[in-house]
Amino acid sequence: SNVKKLKAVKKELTRFMMTYQFALDELSTKIDILQQEFHYIHDYNPIEHVKSRIKTPESILKKVHRKGIDLTLPAIRDTIHDIAGIRITCSFISDIYELSYMLENQKDIQVVERKDYIMNPKPNGYQSLHLILEIPVFMSDRVLDVYVEVQIRTIAMDFWASLEHKIYYKYNHEAPPAILQELKEAAETAGRLDEKMERLHKEINKAKETENDTHFIMNHE
Ligand code: 0O2
């Protein structure tokens, strides 16, 4: 009957969406472990915050329509790689690369795509490191490889992106050229701030090392 069919579809859909939550849970744990270990080794926390989200069914359907793909779960799974998304805000630019290196080299993680908008910012000024990862999720009767989009950025990059996103929507995706130019300049300013903080961070670390060495020598002479 139709009711039976609908129930089956609903069950299948729920199971489909669940896999993305499981993949996010796994990745969150991995990030948490790296964060704690990094804190232990380097004595500071490289991660400011982590936020994850699952794309809403509405937003998935919009993308299906925009990309002109078939409305089937396998086609959606193969084509839409950002159903599960995780955004990591780091303290310094070097933290972004260190963290991504550690994630990318884990044995059970496959890097499907890597877009470095920090080395190559988007024309509008947008900066972040984007990874599409494939993570195995172990279920009762099968192992599913699930895509997760990871965005890694600094606080300054995140600040810019969230305000740019708001402005973009305020102007209904068509901001005047003068505003776009100013936004781009703001992104460059944010980039310079990140570079300055990176330099400071390195200097402070160096000073700390020298201080530690001195302590060591004084205590062992
Ligand atoms: P939301 O609401 O964050 O999910 P595609 O993902 O295939 O449509 P593309 O260009 O291959 O497109 O993806 P890309 O460049 O990796 O960017 C995808 C996501 O990065 C976006 O998701 C945004 O979150 C973020 N992003 C990319 N460019 C910009 C930008 O110029 N400004 C801001 N604020 N964010 C950006 P969604 O799906 O657009 O939105």
Ligand 1 pocket, residue 56 CB under 6 Å: no
Q: 130 CB under 6 A from ligand 1?
A: yes
Specify the pLDDT at position 130.
98
Nearest CA to ligand 1 atom 2: 55
Cα radius of gyration (the chain): 22
pLDDT of residue 215: 75
The Å distance, Cα 146 to ligand 1 centre, comes to 19
- Residue 25 backbone phi and psi in degrees, to 5: -60, -45
Query: 16 CA distance to ligand 1 centroid (A)?
Result: 23
Q: How far is the CA of 82 from the centre of ligand 1 (A)?
A: 9
- What pLDDT shows up at residue 171? 85
pLDDT for 107? 97
pLDDT of residue 147: 98
- Give, to the nearest 10 degrees, the angle between helix 93-104 and helix 2-42: 120
What three-state secondary structure class fits 147? Answer: strand
Nearest CA residue ID for atom 14, ligand 1: 130
Residue 91 and residue 34 in contact, taking contact as beta carbons nearer than 8 Å = no
pLDDT for residue 221:
65
The best mutation among 62, 67, 126, 147 to test binding of ligand 1, ranked by most ligand atoms within 8 Å of the C-beta, falls on: 126
Tokens of 135: 């993570």
Q: Tell the residue nearest (CA) to atom 30 of ligand 1.
A: 126
Annotated catalytic sites, by residue? 149
Residue numbers in the chain where pLDDT is lower than 50: none
Report the atom number in ligand 1 closest to the C-alpha of 130: 16
Contact of 115 with 150, CB cutoff 8 Å: no
pTM of this prediction exceeds 0.90: yes
How many whole angstroms separate alpha carbon 102 and alpha carbon 35?
11
pLDDT at 216: 72
Predicted ipTM of the assembly: 0.91
Q: Would you give the DSSP letter of residue 106? A: -
Q: Is the CB of 115 under 6 A from ligand 1?
A: yes
Round to the nearest angstrom and report the end-to-end CA distance of the chain.
87
Q: Give the alpha-carbon dihedral of 115, 120, 123, 127, to 10 degrees.
A: 70
The Å distance, Cα 161 to ligand 1 centre, comes to 10
